Amino acid sequence: MVFSRTAMVDTFDYAFSEDGSDGFNSFKDLEILVNHVSKPIAPTITESFQDVPGRYGGVFLGNSYGEKQIDIPITIMASSRDEYNRKMDNLSKALINTHDDADTQYPLRFNDQPEVVYYGHFTAIPTPTFINEGVQDCTTTLTFMLADPRGFLPQRDIKITSNDQIISPAGNTTVQPVIHIIPKTDLYYFGYTLGDQYVAVGYHVDDGSTVTDANGHVTSLTPHQELQVHDPCNSMSTWFQAGQDTQEIKVYRGENDGKATATASALMVVKDNKGHYNWGSTGKHKDFYGPVIIHQGIPKISNYWKVSMRFHHIKRMKNERAMGKVEGYLLDSNGNVCGRMGITDYAEGRYPRGYIQLGSSFNATDDKGNYLTLLYNEGGRKNNGQNNHDVKVHLTKTVKVKTTSKVKAKAKSARMYQATIQREAFKTAAKKKTSKKKKKKATKKVTKKKSGGKSKSTKVSKPKVSTKSKTIKTYVMETTYMNSDAYSNFFGEFSLERQKKTIDGKVYDNWVAEINEWDPLHGVAYSPNNTNRVHIHTEKLDKSGKFGFALANVAATFMKHDIKEDLVSPKVGYYSDFETLTDLKIYTSDGSDDPDDIPHVIAHAGEEIIIDSADNTVTVAGRSVDKYVSWLSTFPSIEGDVSQEMHFTPDPANSDITLEYKPAVK
């Protein structure tokens, strides 16, 4: 088939790359002839009209513009049936795509206007109709639909050199620009405005805070979190012990008992004059028990807040059987428990767990659906120990035993008496005496021969048997798994933050929970790069609204659980857990989901900022900063063939700014 170079304008290219390469040409690759294509002027137009009863006419509510349809009539020339079949196969392979995402739009351009690219998909590839009987030449009409009815011209760049610069984009309709900014100084805030629309990225852009100059330096910014309480936990003056005469809270699986105290560096259980911890009354409680302390209060009740508590927990018993827990409780204005964080030991030397949970009761069966677990784990560094290892718990107990009295003088033992009885019974049986013997006192004569040759008879009395109490030493066998993990010897910070997150106009609670291990010798957090230490972070969006509350106060508990060693008599001494609270911080927050406590630089000098108005996304040096974008940002479009003025922060005099866009035609 001969096809002139000038006729190449009557072809189309399809599914090519962004740079124009690859893809299919209708003539070279698909071997079809494109007939006259009548490109539509406008997309599908749907009128919105409201009838009004009793009125002559109605109310016009505007037009909505839908897809644009391009019909492409083609002719397929084939000299044989084999050639026809081959070309049909090529068409189906090129135009029918089942391996791409269902919403993929493919580029198409007509070579009589190659600078305009349309994006769409084929919706109809009808069965061809043969032109004449006996020949394989045929025709059909392909239907190409444009969900976005615009045609796009090659990308253009506009260099922004001044905030007074007037731009006039090419094309004749609106397009979404991509803004590239490379600042010369560090930025707390950046963005642009176009008329009354804008993109604002940075701190407090929704509540009026401003930047002071074109460099992006901030004059007045308040932190989204304000520290209300910082208690070093070295005095009981800011705490009081819970009780009937003060205030009581409901501790999950725990009863208030014992007494707490403060040292120079921590709050903990007090010791008695023998150096023993005063947890409370041993043997009285079925579950955990120990002192409960409540903070004196915080300056301001906050709907959005952050709490961090630093605990120290060491299992000191060698076989890991000791059970304790150290916890912080979060309270609302009525003193109700609304959340907890801390570490709890499990029975028989199993792994302890660290956790942060919302709710007031946390039984997996009875309270299912009434609490929310953010973190619950073993922290790593697990050591299985000796599973099902039995240990002896020594104790003393009183038992009743039988005792036998001494025989009369000259009788060596009661055994002599028994031997005599047996011998006499044997003699009696041998003589087969049947006569009934007279009843006699239970004494027998025993003839003993002395060394002088004379025999002497000695009477032996039956010993008396009696019962009396006796204290003996014994033991019972108990099981220990001897398991240990990161929380078996842990010093670190637990934190929980309530944030607000707006999605589709609705505000939800976004919970941020963290557990970070600290170096107890130097009092600093271990580096996140230290993978052998606990660094756990999680965020959970709660759309139920069941667990949000205004924080009014906090409490702490130091508790133990009786084990067999506590319940035997006398008690068996062992090392109970070491539990302390060493630091407390409480912040009030505006609900921002910024993870940092104070405004900070979000774009450093030399880093490329990309504001993509098509996708409504913002990145700095490739990392997303969408969380800093004002929720009122509209990501405005620019209008083709219309002069308009845009204003940028930072000022173009102190940064390199390029506006990138693809002009479009209606």
Beta strands in 524-661 (DSSP E): 524-525, 535-542, 553-561, 578-589, 609-612, 617-620, 623-624, 638-639, 644-649, 655-661
R_g of the chain, CA atoms, integer Å: 45
In sequence order, the 6+-apart residues with CB closer than 8 A to the CB of 419 are: none
**Does 429 or 3 have the greater pLDDT score?**
429
The answer on 31 and 18 residing in a single domain is: yes
pLDDT of residue 21: 82
The answer to whether position 93 is within a domain reads: yes
Is there a single domain that holds both residue 249 and residue 329? yes
Least confident of 206-220, 518-532, 612-626: 206-220
The answer to whether position 288 is within a domain reads yes
603/578 same-domain check: no
Q: Residue type at 117? A: V
Q: Is 643 helix (H, G, I), strand (E, B) or coil?
A: coil
Taking only the tens place, the pLDDT of each residue in 524-567 is 888 887 888 999 999 999 999 899 999 999 999 999 999 888 88
Two tokens at 164?
């007074």
User: Does 21 map to a domain?
Assistant: yes
- Could you tell me if residue 463 is inside a domain? no
183 in a structural domain = yes
**Same domain, residue pair 565 and 612:** no
Band of pLDDT at residue 493, cut at 50, 70 and 90: very high
Q: In terms of domains, do 160 and 105 share one?
A: no
Domain CATH code at residue 628: 2.60.120.860
C-alpha to C-alpha distance for 627 and 629, rounded to whole angstroms:
6
| 3-state secondary structure string across 130-195 | ECCCCCCCEEEEEEEEECCCCEECCCEEEEECCCCCEECCCCCCEECCEEEEEECCCECEEEEEEC
Map residue 620 onto helix, strand or coil: strand
| Sign of the torsion angle spanned by Cα atoms 637, 641, 642, 647 | positive
Average pLDDT for the chain: 84
Can you give the CATH number for the domain in which 28 is found?
Answer: 2.40.30.200
Cα gap 591→500, rounded to integer Å: 5
Distance CA 606, CA 627 (A): 21
Q: Does one domain contain both 147 and 30?
A: yes
What per-residue confidence (pLDDT) applies to 178? 96
Of the pLDDT bands very low, low, confident and very high (cuts 50, 70, 90), residue 572 is confident
Question: Residue 169, preceding bond cis, omega within 30 degrees?
Answer: no
- As given in the structure block, the two tokens for residue 315 are 């299992």
Q: Pick from 106, 133, 152: which residue ends a domain?
A: 152
Cβ-in-10-Å burial (0-12, 13-18, 19+) of 634 comes to: middle
Per-residue tokens: 1: 């088939």
The verdict on 162 and 284 lying in the same domain is no
Give every CB contact of residue 139 below 8 A, 6+ residues apart in sequence.
35, 73, 74, 75, 76, 128, 129, 131
Report the DSSP pairing between strands 288-290 and 655-661: unpaired
Cα 452 from Cα 468, distance rounded (Å): 44
Determine the structural domain holding residue 101 and report its residue range. Answer: 5-152
Asked if residue 288 has pLDDT above 70, the reply is yes
* Neighbouring-strand partners of residue 25: 13
* Mean pLDDT score, 333-354: 91
CB atoms under 10 Å from CB of 247, counted, come to 15
User: Total domain count for the chain?
Assistant: 3
Nearest-CA neighbor of 569 among 470, 468, 469, 473? 473
Residue 661 pLDDT level (bands cut at 50, 70, 90) = very high
Mean pLDDT to the nearest integer, 367-381 = 90
Q: Are residues 205 and 252 in the same domain?
A: no
Q: What percent of the chain has pLDDT over 90?
A: 54
Residue 611 falls inside a structural domain? yes
49 and 27, same domain (yes or no): yes
Which residues make Cβ contacts (< 8 Å) with residue 194, sequence separation at least 6? 636, 638, 644, 645, 646
Residue 106, exposed/middle/buried by CB under 10 A (0-12, 13-18, 19+)? middle
Q: Which of 129, 152, 175 is the last residue of a domain?
A: 152
In this model, does residue 53 exceed pLDDT 60? yes
* Token reading at 353: 């767990």
pLDDT tens for 78-118 read 999 999 999 999 999 999 887 888 888 999 999 999 999 99
In this prediction, residue 570 carries a pLDDT of: 77
DSSP conformation class of 87:
H
How far is the C-alpha of 546 from the C-alpha of 241, rounded, in Å? 30
Q: Looking at the structure, do residues 63 and 197 belong to the same domain, yes or no?
A: no
Same domain, 178 and 197: yes
Residue 395 within a domain: no
Domain membership of residue 204 (yes or no) is yes
Res. 508: pLDDT tops 70: yes
Q: Which of 540, 565, 586 is the last residue of a domain?
A: 586
CATH number at residue 316: 2.60.120
486 pLDDT above the threshold of 50: yes
Same-domain pairing of 246 and 117? no
